[in-house]
Amino acid sequence: MAAKRDEMTLWTGYFDSRISRSDGRRVPKSASISKPSLEAVVWAARSAGIRKMRQEPEASHPSRPHAKEGRLVMPPSHALEVTGAKSKEGVMQAIGKVLRNRSEQAREQGKDPSRAPAKGDRRRRAQRKSFKQRSGQRRKKFGR
């Protein structure tokens, strides 16, 4: 499929630090995060000044058809003008730096969703859905 000149497509995999450059990451590790969501990339693009864009959450990258990662489509003239970049790579790096800064700030504030609640935080620990009993086995239903 030929690329459209009036559209710039950014896949979330371009900003994933777990993916190597040869597998599809297009920004340096200093401008990428682990498991970026489409919403996070949209937020970073808006923070970078890009307003004209559309989201396609069910789209999958041609080299990764099994993963519905989503993509962001925008007019290149607007994206280049707003970010002050000269190419798509510059736009991606501008968005990636904003994304990385936001991720680091969230981690510093302790809002890292990948971590379990703090040991002394009883209310949040009580909200965890745990099926483990004292013996470590799953709870048996209906007395079996």
Is residue 140 in a domain?
Answer: no
| pLDDT one-digit tens code per residue, 109-125 | 876 555 555 666 666 66
pTM for this entry: 0.71
Is residue 72 in a domain?
Answer: yes
Which residue range(s) make up the domain with 75? Answer: 8-111
Q: What CATH number is given to the structural domain containing 102?
A: 3.30.56.30
Alpha carbon distance 76, 93 (integer Å)? 15
> What is the model's pLDDT at position 106?
86
Poorest-pLDDT segment among 14-18, 57-61, 112-116: 112-116
**Single-letter amino acid code for the residue at 102:** R
| pLDDT one-digit tens code per residue, 70-83 | 999 999 999 999 99
φ/ψ region of 48 (left if φ > 0, alpha if ψ in -120 to 50, else beta) reads: alpha
Rounded mean pLDDT, 16-36:
93
CA distances from 38 to 84, 116, 137 (A): 23, 23, 37
Is residue 133 in a domain?
Answer: no
Domain total of the chain = 1
